Structure 1
């Protein structure tokens, strides 16, 4: 799988580290709602189709990226710097 880093260009997936689901919303840091924090930490969806994910170009420029990837075919439809994508 090739990931097109916006800074370095297309690179093999081996240079990248998966950082997690980019669609999850973190509860308010001041929240004491333990159910909301448990859901954030432990509940995971297993979507089929396009999904936004965080990746880091650990073997290159070290940028954090948001990658939209089809979880069935692994086809990547978009890559953007995380600071610009959110």
Structure 2
């Protein structure tokens, strides 16, 4: 079992997390006016690279969303950074 770092809760078992997508993917230009082919590629086709990747993960118990860089072969986690935007005072 893999162990992932939540920026708020610390290291937890992978069963507490859900994969939310590749970190560097951009939505199709044009939004709702983009072609069906562009949306199909964005929604259903992943690169599934081997090695070091950047991904977006969610920690289910605390609701935190964060960017994680990890190696999907060796399971080494390099960084986990919160995506929470603190409200301005």
TM-score scaled to structure 1, two decimals? 0.81
Aligned to 1:15: 16
Q: Cα deviation per residue 1:42-73 (whole Å; 9 max; x = unaligned)?
A: 22112011111111110x21101111110111
Say which one has the larger Rg. 2
Aligned residues: CA RMSD: 1.7
Q: How many residues align?
A: 83
1:51 to 44, 53, 61: 53
Task: Provide the C-alpha distance between the structure 1 equivalents of 2:26 and 2:20, rounded to a whole number of angstroms.
Answer: 15
For structure 1, the 5+ residue unaligned runs are none
- C-alpha contact 2:64 2:84 (8 A) present in aligned 1: no
State the Cα distance separating 1:83 from its structure 2 match: 4.0
Q: In the aligned structure 1, how far is the partner of 2:26 from the partner of 2:34?
A: 16
Moved over 6 A (4+): none
Matched, 1:29 2:31: yes
Q: SS in structure 1 opposite 2:33?
A: coil
Distance 2:44 2:5 in 1: 30
Q: What is the TM-score when the length of structure 2 is the normalising length? A: 0.79
